[in-house]
Amino acid sequence: MACRTFKEARRCSARAVPGVSVVICAALACAGGCNAGGGGPPADDGVVQVSIGNLAFTPKSVTIQQGQTVRWTNNESNGAIHTTTSGSPDDEAQAGQLWDSGELNPGDTFERTFSDVGEFTYFCDIHEELAAMRDARVIVQAP
């Protein structure tokens, strides 16, 4: 897979000339750099990507500027469903109070814009027992 997110592929195919295969189009769209793995620069639209795959959030911690948006994408190839849910499963009263994606199937995305400075912990409500699926972080810095 050249493209990392379903939305990229969809945007790409919308631009495609009828009859041109989506695969070719996706390869073109990623020629500018669809680098795999976390920690890379934000996408051109300023949205910071977090991949959910192999039962883990990658990168597990992202640092963004106030007002930026984080987009989580379920990139699992094994069909696993995930959520991104604010807080910690150890604090049920607080969990999900800031955001809760609900179930994300492979290919689904969820976005949240962070207008407040701070450090926000989140987890996957389905796999909260896995260390890689809890205590993930979005750190929001003042501009």
Residues that bind Cu ion (CB under 5 A): 82, 124, 126-127, 133
Query: In whole angstroms, how close is the CB of 37 to Cu ion at the nearest point?
Result: 19
Complex with Cu ion: residue 12 or 133, whichever CB lies closer: 133
Complex with Cu ion: residue 12 or 95, whichever CB lies closer: 95
Complex with Cu ion: residue 71 or 82, whichever CB lies closer: 82
Q: How far apart are the first and last CA of the chain?
A: 35
Complex with Cu ion: residue 68 or 101, whichever CB lies closer: 101
Strand order in the sheet with 61-65: 61-65, 136-141, 118-123, 85-86
Cβ neighbours, 10 Å, residue 103: 11
Query: In whole angstroms, how close is the CB of 123 to Cu ion at the nearest point?
Result: 8
Which SS3 state, helix, strand or coil, does residue 11 take? helix
Query: In whole angstroms, how close is the CB of 55 to Cu ion at the nearest point?
Result: 6
Query: Beta 61-65 vs 118-123: how paired, if at all?
Result: unpaired
Query: In whole angstroms, how close is the CB of 71 to Cu ion at the nearest point?
Result: 17
Return the H-helix or E-strand segment holding 15. Answer: helix 6-15
Q: Are 31 and 5 in contact, with CB atoms under 8 Å apart?
A: no
